[in-house]
Amino acid sequence: MTSKLQAEASPAKRVRVIGCGMIAREVLAINEQLGFDHVDLKCLPAEYHHHPERIAPEMDKAIARAREEGFENIFVGYADCGTGGELDKVCMKHGVERIAGPHCFSFYMGNQQFAEADGDYLTTFFITDFLARHFETFMKRPLGLDRHPELLPMYFGNYTRALYLAQTEDPELEANAREAADFLGLEYEYRFTGFGDLTPALSEAANSA
């Protein structure tokens, strides 16, 4: 276990995680579970999910800022997330690592399992704790489905199933996820994944300091 002393240690001894707002709660939960009080979290807005072209340039700036603040150990709390390799270029430039995998749905499920599934999830829409909690503001509204439900078939016409990959056991979120599936007209399925590959990824980053 890490001692409280380290929490007050200089930035050089600490780890700065710069992550996606969609996984902020989960990163903090893992930090607490594993007693990583030398890990601090800065988030980029979750909205970048819808605008992946902003992720790499903003990450570039955030890493530069963290360096200015004196952080030597920095970890990128993103998967590729649709940056098409741009985020990897930024990571390479600064000599930092990111979470492996294409997106959070994959690393929660387990990247290996997701990669081997080969088509099993072709028509599956994934829901996470974050999406269950913020379905209204993060999916319905930006996709315009609150104002224009007639767009639903254009978005989800080719989908068959909504799979809730649950990070925590929470009946309220499960009810939300089920409701989201109903709204989308998709068959609902539940799978508890916990934090998946996020825990080992963060542990490695925390222990490298």
Partner 1 sequence: MSDEDEIILSELDDDELVAQMHDDLYDGLKEEIEEGTNILLGRGWTPYDVLTKALVEGMRIVGIDFRDGILFVPEVLLAANAMKSGMTILRPLLAETGAPKLGSMVIGTVKGDIHDIGKNLVGMMMEGAGFDVHDIGINTDVDGYLAAIDEHQPDILGMSALLTTTMPYMKVVIDTMIEKGMRDDYTILVGGAPLNEDFGKAIGADAYCRDAAVAVETAKEFMARKHNQMATG
Residues forming contacts to partner 1 in the complex (CB under 8 A) are 50-53, 80, 82-86, 102, 119, 122-123, 142-145, 147-148, 151, 154-155, 158-159
Nearest distance, CB of residue 81 and partner 1, angstroms: 8
Name which of partner 1, ligand B12, none residue 105 binds, using a CB cut-off of 5 to 8 Å depending on partner kind.
Answer: ligand B12
Which lies closer to partner 1 via its Cβ, residue 71 or residue 156? 156
Which lies closer to ligand B12 via its Cβ, residue 73 or residue 128? 128
Nearest distance, CB of residue 82 and ligand B12, angstroms: 2
DSSP conformation letters of the chain:
---HHHHTS-GGGSEEEEEEGGGHHHHHHHHHHHT-TTEEEEEE-GGGGG-GGGHHHHHHHHHHHHHHTT--EEEEE---TT-TTHHHHHHHHHT-EE-SSSSHHHHHH-HHHHHHHTTTTTTEEEE-HHHHHSIIIIIITTTTTTT-GGGHHHHHTT--EEEEEESS--HHHHHHHHHHHHHHT-EEEEEE-TTTTHHHHHHHHHHT-
Name which of partner 1, ligand B12, none residue 119 binds, using a CB cut-off of 5 to 8 Å depending on partner kind.
Answer: partner 1
Which lies closer to ligand B12 via its Cβ, residue 73 or residue 106? 106
Which lies closer to partner 1 via its Cβ, residue 106 or residue 193? 106
